[in-house]
Amino acid sequence: MTAAYFVESDDESRHTPEPEDLWSESYYADFVDGDGTWGGWLRLGMYPNRKVAWWTAYIVGLGRTGVCSVDYALPVPAGDGLVIEDADTRVEIEIIKPLESFRLAAAAPARILSQPEQAYVEGAGTPGTLAVDLTWTTDGTPYHYSVTPRYEIPCLVTGTVTIDGQEHAVDGQGQRDHSWAARDWWAFGWCWSSARLNDGTRIHLSDIRMPGFPIFFGYVQTPPAAGSAGSAGSAGSAGHGTVHPITALTVTEVVGEHGFPTSAHIALQSGADPDLLTIAVTPLAYGPVLLIDEQRGRTSHFPRAMVRYDVADGRQGLGWIEWNQPDPA
C-alpha cells in the first residue's frame, strides 16, 4: 500500500500543462551554508499558456550586499526540457537521480543591492552577474502535499556560487520543492517556511491564507535512530527519519518597514508529539522580489528571509521563510 504523502519518482520530470491561464510548473531550491552566515534561494517557474518562464534568485548574508537576479520573460523549454537559454541567461535543471539528487546550474545578469527593499524598485542597484552550480542531495523523506500536486524534500547542498567572477564554495543544507498546478500569486497570501534544527529535525510548513478557507500543510521529520537504515523515497523510512504531518498550525508575524516581517512566531502540533511546539523566528537577511502580473496589472510583494529558529525547548536551527503579500486590487 502506498504510504500517505508518498512521492512518485516520475513526478520529478515535467508534466503536461492544463488549460488554465496561470497553470505553472515550478522548481524551487534554497540553501544555508554550513557556517550559517549566508545562503540563497532560486526558482524556475514555467507558464506554458503564457509562453514565458520566470527566473528568480537571491543570495543574502550577514553583512553582505544582496545579489538579486530576476527575469520574467524567458522562453519556456519545449517538451519535457529543463534548459532555458537566451542572449544573457542560461538555467539548467538536472534530475541526477529521482528523489535523491538534483542539480541547478545557472548564469544570469544580477543586481547588487545595498538594501533589500531596492529589489522592489526597477533598475535599482549596481549591475552584476550571478552564476550557480549547486546540487541538492536528499537528507530526509520526500513529502507530497495532501490536496495539491506539490512535494518538498529536505536536502544537503554542495557546489559553488559565483558573484561577479568571485567563486564561493557551498557546503550546507536546504530544501527543494516541485509543483505543477494553476497558481495565482495575486489572489491570496501565505507563509511558507522550512528549517533544519541542530538535532537533525526537519520542519516544513505552509500557512495558506485564503479568505474564508484557511488551510495548512507541513511536517516534522524526526532524525533517524543511530544505526538505522532506509530509503530516501519511502515515506517514513527509518534511515531518513519519520514524517509526522502537522495537525495544527498558527503563524503570526510582526511587520516592519517595506512590509518585511521583523519577527514571527510559529505554534504547531504533529504526530511526533501531542504537545504544542513553539518556535521564535528571527530574520537574518532578506531576499525579496516583486511579482508582476503584466497581463492583469497586478503586483505582489514577496519578502523572503534567511532565518534563525529558536524552539522553546532549547533547540535552534536555520532555514528560510517567505510571505506572499498581494497588493489590494
Q: Tell me if 138 sits within 8 A of 174, measured CB to CB.
A: no
Which 8-state DSSP code applies to residue 256?
A: -
The answer to whether the CB of 52 falls within 8 A of the CB of 73 is yes
Q: CA distances (Å), 85 to each of 28, 72, 245, 291, 328, in order?
A: 18, 13, 39, 21, 34
Burial class of 45 by CB neighbour count within 10 A (0 to 12, 13 to 18, 19+) = buried
- The pLDDT value given to residue 214: 84
Residue 240 has pLDDT above 70, yes or no: no
Q: Which pLDDT score, from 0 to 100, does residue 275 have? A: 83
Residue 212 pLDDT greater than 90, yes or no: no
Segments making up each domain of the chain, as ranges? 23-326
The whole-chain average pLDDT of the chain stands at 93
pLDDT at 26 over 50: yes
Contact 221, 200 (CB under 8 A): no
DSSP helix/strand/coil, 9: helix
Q: Can you tell me the distance from the alpha carbon of 211 to that of 54, in angstroms, rounded to the nearest whole number?
A: 27
pTM (predicted TM-score): 0.94
- Distance in angstroms (rounded) separating the CA atoms of residues 173 and 208: 25
Identity of residue 232? A
DSSP letter for each residue of 35-95 = TSSEEEEEEEEEETTTTEEEEEEEEEETTPPEEEEEEEEEPPPSTT--EEE-SS-EEEEEE
pLDDT tens track for 287-299: 999 999 988 999 9
pLDDT at position 236: 36
